[in-house]
Amino acid sequence: QVQLVESGGGSVQSGGSLRLSCSASGYNFNSGCMGWRRQAPGKEREGGASINRGGDIDYADSVKGRFAISRDNAKNTLYRQMDSLKPEDTAMYYCATTGPCLPWFRSLVSKDYRYWGQGTQVTVSS
């Protein structure tokens, strides 16, 4: 059974930083494409980042330059470093995996991800 468990969320002031972690189990982490998404109340999931098996990365324009995605295959863990946080970054943050994917594949499209964690809340105050 695939499980994704996010941690590291919390409340910070504008300009602060947080590092989110996503611990994965129940499948071969090395074979999966991973992504982060976020969802604010009343809005669609967006603000994505993706990383494929080979470490190739894509970012949505809304987070490019401030957020960084990385993975540690030895620890079955996905990370999201978030710097220069703004109040509009307040949202529930989710990690997701496609499950096994082709080496070159990566995607910022939510429907491409089959498994999702429960999310971790990030609140940024001004």
Mean confidence (pLDDT) of the chain: 94
- The answer to whether residue 47 scores a pLDDT higher than 90 is no
pLDDT tens readout for residues 81-94: 999 999 999 999 99
CB atoms within 10 A of CB 85: 21
With beta carbons less than 8 A apart as the criterion, state whether 114 and 98 touch. yes
Whole-number pLDDT of residue 38: 94
Q: Helix H segments across 47-105?
A: none
- The Cα 40–Cα 73 span in angstroms is 29
